[in-house]
A and B are shown apart, each in its own frame.
Chain A
């Protein structure tokens, strides 16, 4: 067995819906290195990989499969499946821990509702959670609450940029603004 000592341990994270359609897919390769696996760069291969993977795993509920010389761990939910893909010699339990971390974090963020609807509605938080779990193939964190705690919620309101200031000074400002405008217009001969 060749001892793989690199930290790049996750090759891809994929989220598919219950028809095998891609909700999210990211195939990792080192940002400053060459991708060794064609799967990482060839988009056509990726789609066919996903569709055959889906047909092998949909409604199987068996958590792990060896597929096209890769170890794939996955979790199936009501209408989505979350996959994590690694090298054939990768430690299966390590990968599963990473997957569990991501799934746990999504449960927190999506309030225990991991399904297609909430993933699409909260896509920003979902991708942040994935980004906080795996950084281009390197495992960043496996604890669900820590991952979730790194994911920010979207800003609540687009506060209108003209703030209405009701303090004394604010009223004075408004008064001065109005006075200036009116006197301008009067001077122009209105």
Chain B
């Protein structure tokens, strides 16, 4: 049998792995034999490792057997066999017991073994030892760290690094040796390159200084709590004895970055080191330095510019990976401050046709982000030049970027639409065309002034459209938007052409679209539509006839409003919720249940504006790492849009609260706030809160998580003390038991005063702790526990809790319509400590309104105007203009708020967190 498998393994085309049991038997036999055959044993070891690296494992006893047999090979002195023995032991360590037994043999090799396998011995030792046995090796490790041979030194340093988590105190004893290793000059012995006769064109180096990298890494961890020592270390390796290894330099830059991240005041102190790194001979150092500068906030613009210039040169190097890394960093910058990387546009444009698809995608998306209202036209022109050369999949990414861009710059919709129109005429698959249609749809939706031009394009498109599905969508949109235009008759002709020329699916959707035009209120149009619809009654397809008949019937009713509700409803059901509820209904095992029809009224509806607001937010959000997504089209990672999640969450809250009878009596849940953290995430009990607003009540849901594993909490309740007497506590639902490592919710209900009254709730968590027996997970019987209290942060009810974000296509118009203006001015404090963008994002969150005209992106450095729009839960419209300016006196904020409710605008204007 053994010869059979042996042969099979030699036959490389079969590619099959050697049989596990055969290898096991052969290994035991050969390793325990005397005398040992070195060549055969090395072959068997490599076969054993082949199995392990292919993912096979051995049960513990067998692995231990193998381990001991392998250690028998220490009796043979062939150094090439010994080297592989060490690798095998290293791999078997994690599988077998009693690995300490090998220590003696390994130590012997470290002290007096051949230089060929001495480093392997040192590295294997780190696997065999643990925190309690490391003492035995202290002397040997110290010697190895300072060994003249770079390989031995590196091996010892890396092994010490591995041992850090279990034996930091012991490793700390060779700090001095480590320090010495960095500064020493170790060269390879002359015999280093004797092993192989052929080293090709590689330069045979006498030193690589990689041990500096390892020593630096170790030294950092030995000193990481001492900032002064770190600063000294950084200083030393920059000026007095510059590091010779690029790897070590990269590592040093990371330490500098970390220091600055922890204390941003050090930025300028440490800056002088960077220019040298930005001009380093190795591109990995250059990249690391540039990335560090650009990811930290406190570097001056001209310093960031230097980093960008370095990246700019790296964009045109021949090595793909370097170009990739450079363009990736630039892409990240482009999301935040596109104006900074405009200088690289020329290089980026040349990367559009890069052989590496990831590089070219990054280049394109970066370019599109750098687009501002001046250069957008030129950019779009450049891109249309290369559109023919790239694949469909790629074109879609470009189209998406164009879409985002046009939503950002509504003024430029004309050139964008022309571009989209051009590509729409090009050859392309369904997904590609679909992306274009989507883009045009969005432009129509969010840029009202583009409507007529875009609709005209779509009309032309459906004249010659090969995809039924797209034609149907376009027809639906024509039905929605067409009646709102100045000359609706134009579209009627186009739509009716479809009725004559297309297949039944398109015809039936055209019929519905037509009927919507009859609702405009223009008698002559209504009359001609009726004539057209009557003709459709003769259609060969029953669906078309049905739809035409239904529409005609509705149109001939007296009550035109009722007809409108059916033909062009103004609200939409929340689809994710509808889907969830329907699935619940259908999956109900109880047959009786089906006696009652599905209740459509339980599904929350959204008015068109609300739906638009959610959609707009999603579409203009700048996605991180676009190529990563493009490459990972794996189905399980399907992204659930934020708005859907939000709707589902709201639905979930409503269900949970509805299950509590007292709360169910409060009526409909009007609004739930985002989750507010009341403790640090690392504390023993993590408390978060959600505010639910009802008609006359406020319910605060406290989520308490017990992170301790040995303590159980009982009678957990919250004492919530409002600072405003208008709120009075109704009831409290405590948690009886909160088991170790679990979480639960406490509800506290308050009556709510009329109108909007801000308040601050002081919160104290009170509970009884009991120790838990770890074996049963239950507290010991008869244990009384002792009561305790825990103060958590205050929770405030803010005006934002009464406002939901809403979308407006024309902010100026909405602003002018509203009155009751309130103005307030604040000084937010020292401008140097705040980033304008962060302030803006925080404002958007606390005011709970939707930023209009993409004013949530800060473009200039010192001042910004934020425009916000929303609706109160009572239905009042509210708009705000917030002007921010940072000066030497501090960050100044002036907020102007207008609302149909004067009280509301005053409250919102005067509230600042």
**Contact pattern, B 289-314, Cβ under 8 Å of A = 1, otherwise 0:** 00110010000000000000000000
Given contact pairs A149-B192, A150-B151, A64 touches B46 in the complex (Cβ within 8 A): no
Q: Does B548 contact A (CB under 8 A)?
A: no
Given contact pairs A127-B46, A138-B158, A152-B116, A94 touches B254 in the complex (Cβ within 8 A): no
Stretch of B204-212, B419-427, B500-508, B518-526 that contacts chain A: B204-212
Residue of B nearest to A63 (CB): B320
Q: Does A181 contact B (CB under 8 A)?
A: no
Q: Does B731 contact A (CB under 8 A)?
A: no
Indicate the member of A17, A30, A32, A153 with the most B CB atoms within 10 Å. A32
Q: Does B79 contact A (CB under 8 A)?
A: yes
Chain A residues with CB under 8 A of B545: none
Chain A residues with CB under 8 A of B210: 139-143
Given contact pairs A5-B254, A145-B193, A157-B39, A136 touches B162 in the complex (Cβ within 8 A): yes
Chain A residues with CB under 8 A of B322: 92-93, 96
Q: Give chain A's interface secondary structure class.
A: mixed
Chain B residues with CB under 8 A of A26: 53
Query: How far does the Cβ of B223 sit from chain A's closest Cβ, in whole Å?
Result: 12
Residue of B nearest to A92 (CB): B325
Cα A121 to Cα B163 with chains together (Å):
35
Given contact pairs A3-B254, A124-B42, A155-B38, A25 touches B53 in the complex (Cβ within 8 A): yes
Contact residue among B80, B151, B188 (Cβ-Cβ distance under 8 Å from A155) = B80
Query: How far does the Cβ of A14 sit from chain B's closest Cβ, in whole Å?
Result: 10
Say yes or no: B195 contacts A107, CB within 8 Å.
no
Chain B residues with CB under 8 A of A97: 246, 284
11 example contacts (A-B, Cβ-Cβ < 8 A) are as follows: A7-B213, A22-B55, A32-B162, A52-B634, A62-B357, A66-B628, A108-B198, A123-B50, A152-B84, A155-B39, A158-B38
Query: How far does the Cβ of B863 sit from chain A's closest Cβ, in whole Å?
Result: 28
Say yes or no: B12 contacts A32, CB within 8 Å.
no
Contact residue among B38, B87, B357 (Cβ-Cβ distance under 8 Å from A131) = B87
Query: How far does the Cβ of A137 sit from chain B's closest Cβ, in whole Å?
Result: 9
Given contact pairs A136-B162, A144-B202, A151 touches B195 in the complex (Cβ within 8 A): yes
Chain A residues with CB under 8 A of B47: 123
Chain B residues with CB under 8 A of A127: 46, 49, 53, 87
Say yes or no: B356 contacts A64, CB within 8 Å.
yes
Contact residue among A104, A123, A144, A151 (Cβ-Cβ distance under 8 Å from B49) = A123
Indicate the member of A7, A67, A111 with the most B CB atoms within 10 Å. A7
Number of chain A residues close to chain B: CB under 8 A: 79
Given contact pairs A91-B325, A123-B49, A149-B192, A30 touches B165 in the complex (Cβ within 8 A): yes
Chain A residues with CB under 8 A of B200: 104, 107-108, 112
The residues in A between 75 and 131 inclusive whose CB is less than 8 angstroms from any CB of B are: 91-97, 104, 107-109, 111-112, 116-117, 120-121, 123-124, 127-128, 131
Say yes or no: B80 contacts A153, CB within 8 Å.
yes
Q: Does B700 contact A (CB under 8 A)?
A: no
Say yes or no: A25 contacts B55, CB within 8 Å.
yes
Q: Does B586 contact A (CB under 8 A)?
A: no
* Chain A interface residues toward B at CB < 8 A: 1, 3-7, 17, 19, 21-26, 30-33, 43, 46-47, 52, 56, 60-69, 73, 91-97, 104, 107-109, 111-112, 116-117, 120-121, 123-124, 127-128, 131, 135-136, 138-146, 148-158, 161
Say yes or no: A56 contacts B202, CB within 8 Å.
no
Cα A74 to Cα B291 with chains together (Å):
23
Chain A residues with CB under 8 A of B43: 124, 154
Cα A144 to Cα B193 with chains together (Å):
11
Residue of B nearest to A24 (CB): B53
Q: Does B627 contact A (CB under 8 A)?
A: yes
Chain A residues with CB under 8 A of B319: 93, 96
The residues in B between 164 and 222 inclusive whose CB is less than 8 angstroms from any CB of A are: 164-166, 188, 192-196, 198-200, 202-205, 208, 210, 213-214, 217, 220
Say yes or no: B214 contacts A138, CB within 8 Å.
yes
Cα A67 to Cα B39 with chains together (Å):
41
Cα A60 to Cα B356 with chains together (Å):
8
Chain A residues with CB under 8 A of B214: 7, 138
Stretch of B119-127, B570-578, B595-603 that contacts chain A: B119-127
Chain B residues with CB under 8 A of A17: 15
Say yes or no: A135 contacts B158, CB within 8 Å.
yes
Q: Would you list the 8 A-B pairs with minimal beta carbon distance, nearest first?
A: A124-B46, A152-B80, A93-B284, A1-B295, A7-B217, A3-B258, A92-B325, A62-B356
Say yes or no: B37 contacts A32, CB within 8 Å.
no
Contact residue among A61, A107, A154, A161 (Cβ-Cβ distance under 8 Å from B42) = A154
Cα A68 to Cα B320 with chains together (Å):
20
Contact residue among B158, B163, B199 (Cβ-Cβ distance under 8 Å from A145) = B199
Say yes or no: A7 contacts B631, CB within 8 Å.
no
Say yes or no: A69 contacts B628, CB within 8 Å.
yes
Query: How far does the Cβ of B778 sit from chain A's closest Cβ, in whole Å?
Result: 28
Say yes or no: B196 contacts A93, CB within 8 Å.
no
Chain B residues with CB under 8 A of A21: 15
Residue of A nearest to B630 (CB): A66
Chain B residues with CB under 8 A of A140: 154-155, 158, 210
Say yes or no: A148 contacts B15, CB within 8 Å.
no
Query: How far does the Cβ of B390 sit from chain A's closest Cβ, in whole Å?
Result: 15
Chain A residues with CB under 8 A of B155: 135, 140
Say yes or no: B251 contacts A32, CB within 8 Å.
no
